[in-house]
């Protein structure tokens, strides 16, 4: 009997219309990169009917999920559901504020045990001095501070600082299973651990998969702050997936509030313009709805 192709998918989460343009640009950039695999969008009841229709008419797969509310009061809408997508052999979870710059389908064949996930390290430099960030998030404790070239991985050594063991959940590779889903759910019952999470979803995965996550190179989750804080690491040509971290997303304005982000924001707007031009031909109503959610100024 013939065996069908492996069931692989990129997965993202969409809870509100203000991030719809981000999801559509992510979808467009995946297709433009030549990816062979679909994007599945996990949606919650908070997403408008108009936005759902845009996704449906674009042929984007949707999966309805509910938010999880652990005892601490944090909301972790996607933390369990992505592990329960057991109809897929492997998924690559991407945040909706990302732009794919190079094909990265190789993540689907990355060597990964069933109880492991793969992700990049956090950058613990906190260049904007945000007060809610952990006190030990300092350049001296950042794994990337010890990296000398774009191709060098962060070193491993005994006694490395706590941030060395923390992952950034913008890009996560995993093999979904009921066992992993149960493992995450059990962790959510640990109120003492959960209430200390500063970045709920990210800290949860670091907690659950300590010693069980495989470090990915930075360029699979290239933070837009990296050129400033780690210039020795940054190489634009190596970027597979750019992550527009922080609150000032590119779709808020064509003029980046921080000048150092303008070139990278222009990448996003270039992809948006291409995507929107396509939509004007295939779904004029959807194109108008999406345009109403972004700021062209």
pLDDT at 1: 39
* Residue 199 banded pLDDT, cuts 50, 70, 90: confident
The number of domains in the chain is 1
| Region for 161 from its dihedrals, namely left if φ exceeds 0, alpha if ψ lies in -120 to 50, beta otherwise | beta
pLDDT at res. 193: 72
Average confidence (pLDDT) over 106-130: 95
Residue 63 lies in a domain: yes
In a domain, 206, yes or no: yes
pLDDT for position 196: 74
Residue 139, in any domain of the structure: no
Give the pLDDT of residue 242. 98
Q: Of 1-10, 11-20, 202-211, 230-239, which gets the smallest average pLDDT?
A: 1-10
State the pLDDT at residue 2. 45
Coil, helix or strand for 86? coil
Does the structure show a pLDDT above 70 at 82? no
Which is it for strands 8-14 and 117-121: parallel, antiparallel or unpaired? unpaired
Q: Which domain holds residue 84?
A: 8-122+164-291
CA 146 to chain CA mean position, Å: 24
- What is the CATH number for 205? 3.90.550.10
Say if residues 163 and 143 touch (Cβ distance below 8 Å).
yes
What separation in angstroms does the CA of 126 have from each of 21, 122, 142, 246? 27, 10, 10, 11
**Mean confidence (pLDDT) of the chain:** 90
Can you tell me the mean pLDDT for 169-176? 95
Residue 129, domain member (yes or no): no
Q: How confident is the model at residue 70 (pLDDT cuts 50, 70, 90)?
A: low
Residue 66: the pLDDT is 80
pLDDT band at 97 (very low <50, low <70, confident <90, very high): very high
Residue 143 placed within a domain:
no
pLDDT greater than 90 at residue 136: yes
Whether 105 is in a domain gets the answer: yes
Mean pLDDT within 78-100: 83
- Domain contains 150: no
Residue 71 lies in a domain: yes
């Amino acid at each position: 009997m013939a065996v069908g192709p492996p069931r692989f998918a990129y997965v993202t989460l969409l809870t509100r219309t203000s991030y719809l343009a981000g999801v559509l640009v992510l979808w467009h950039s995946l297709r433009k990169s030549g990816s062979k695999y679909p994007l599945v969008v996990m949606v919650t009841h908070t997403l408008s009917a108009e936005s759902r229709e845009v996704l449906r008419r674009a042929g984007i797969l949707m999966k309805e999920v509910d938010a999880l509310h652990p005892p601490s009061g944090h909301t972790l809408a996607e933390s369990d559901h992505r592990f329960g997508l057991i109809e897929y052999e492997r998924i690559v979870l991407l945040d909706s504020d990302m732009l794919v710059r190079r094909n990265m389908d190789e993540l689907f064949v990355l060597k990964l045990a069933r109880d492991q996930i793969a992700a990049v390290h956090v950058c613990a430099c906190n260049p904007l001095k945000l007060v809610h960030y952990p006190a030990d998030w300092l350049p001296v404790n950042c794994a990337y501070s010890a990296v000398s070239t774009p191709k060098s991985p962060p070193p491993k050594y005994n006694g490395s600082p706590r941030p060395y063991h923390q992952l950034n959940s913008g890009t996560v590779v995993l093999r979904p299973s009921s066992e992993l889903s149960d493992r995450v759910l059990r962790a959510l019952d640990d109120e003492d651990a959960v209430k200390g999470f500063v970045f709920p979803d990210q800290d949860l995965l670091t907690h659950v998969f300590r010693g069980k996550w495989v470090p990915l190179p930075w360029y699979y989750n290239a933070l837009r702050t990296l050129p400033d804080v780690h210039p020795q690491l940054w190489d634009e040509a190596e970027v597979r997936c750019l992550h527009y971290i922080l609150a000032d997303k590119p779709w808020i304005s064509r003029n980046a509030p921080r000048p150092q982000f303008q070139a990278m924001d222009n990448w996003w707007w270039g992809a948006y313009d291409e995507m929107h031009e396509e939509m004007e031909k295939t779904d004029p109503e959807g194109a108008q709805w999406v345009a109403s959610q972004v700021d062209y100024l």
